[in-house]
């Protein structure tokens, strides 16, 4: 216990000039005491401090997952977020691949202006919206591909292969990929593309998933699928064309400082696209 006391404390109290009957100085001799915290207050304070530190740590981890790591080794650049009228959560992965949420009519028109040639819809819900989009894409001269994927489970290897084959089928085309919100299912397919085509390490592909809004808390199986996707490339026959080759027939390997080494490799055409056209 701390006991602080002063024998005499002078307190200056100003009074208006017309109060001549009062002294302008008064004295007081208080005894000030600081009482220790009781056990309940101590426990409460410790609990609040712990919760604050835990929240800060979780926030830091989530932020680190959503942004590029600041390390001395260079990381491949993440996709670029775009503002496209009629499309929420839009982004550009590269010159061949765009992503986003379910487009509106104005959004489809904007995609046409960007040179998009193929629309890929991953939704299995809302049949009416699906039929509308197929017709709207056809009216604008764009190819429409429907890959029916669950919103609560990772895709199959065959579904990923179907998506990847689009880029081999038309190397100079531009693909817009979407689900409902453009974050979870779309994120998994883009991450698989990054690993298979761009030869990204899985953790960097997952980092980009978070960058575009992936909900890892609700979809741990999707994140697990991407972490294990390199093994799928080596073992799944449907993915064999991408096991060691990039899109344009080169064998690449990711090395330190964001660089890759590539050598020529013959292109395989043993997989055919399954799609729906208007």
| pLDDT per residue as tens digits for the range 35-44 | 555 667 667 6
Give the burial string for 201-214 (b: 16+ CB within 10 Å, else e): ebebbbbbbbbbbb
Question: What pLDDT digit, counting tens, does each position of 166-198 carry?
Answer: 999 999 999 999 999 999 999 999 999 999 999
**Which pLDDT score, from 0 to 100, does residue 33 have?**
52
The CATH class, in words, for 80-264 is alpha beta
Residue 256 has pLDDT above 90, yes or no: no
Provide mean pLDDT across the span 130-148.
Answer: 98
Cα-based distances in Å from 165 to 6, 90, 123, 175: 85, 22, 19, 12
Residue 268 has pLDDT above 80, yes or no: no
Return the ∠ at Cα 198 (arms to 194 and 204), rounded to 5°: 50
**Which pLDDT score, from 0 to 100, does residue 249 have?**
42
Q: What ranges do the domains of the chain cover? A: 2-34, 80-264
Residue 16 has pLDDT above 60, yes or no: no
Q: Write down the pTM of the prediction.
A: 0.66
Average pLDDT of the chain is 78
Residue 199 has pLDDT above 80, yes or no: yes
């Amino acid at each position: 216990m701390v006991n602080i006391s002063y024998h005499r404390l002078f307190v200056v109290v100003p009074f208006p000039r017309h109060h001549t009957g009062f002294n302008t100085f008064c004295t007081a001799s208080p005894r000030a005491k600081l009482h220790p915290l009781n056990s309940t207050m101590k426990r409460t304070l410790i609990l609040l401090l712990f919760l604050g530190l835990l929240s800060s740590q979780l926030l830091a981890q989530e932020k680190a997952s959503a942004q590029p790591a600041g390390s001395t080794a260079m990381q491949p650049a993440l996709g670029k977020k775009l503002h496209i009228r009629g499309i929420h959560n839009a982004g550009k992965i590269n010159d061949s691949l765009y992503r986003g949420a379910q487009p509106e009519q104005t959004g489809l028109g904007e995609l046409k202006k960007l040179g998009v040639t193929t629309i890929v819809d991953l939704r299995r819900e809302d049949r009416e919206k699906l039929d509308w989009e197929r017709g709207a894409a056809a009216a604008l001269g764009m190819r429409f591909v429907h890959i029916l994927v669950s919103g609560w489970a990772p895709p199959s290897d065959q579904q990923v292969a179907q998506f990847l084959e689009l880029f081999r089928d038309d190397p100079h085309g531009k693909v817009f990929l979407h689900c409902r919100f453009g974050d979870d299912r779309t994120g998994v397919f883009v991450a698989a593309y990054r690993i298979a085509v761009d030869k990204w390490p899985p953790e960097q592909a997952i980092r980009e998933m978070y960058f575009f809004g992936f909900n890892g808390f609700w979809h741990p199986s999707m994140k697990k699928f991407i972490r294990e996707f390199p093994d799928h490339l080596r073992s799944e026959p449907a993915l064999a064309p991408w096991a060691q080759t990039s899109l344009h027939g080169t064998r690449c390997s990711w090395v330190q400082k964001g660089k890759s080494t590539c050598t020529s490799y013959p292109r395989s055409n043993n997989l055919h696209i399954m799609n729906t056209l208007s």
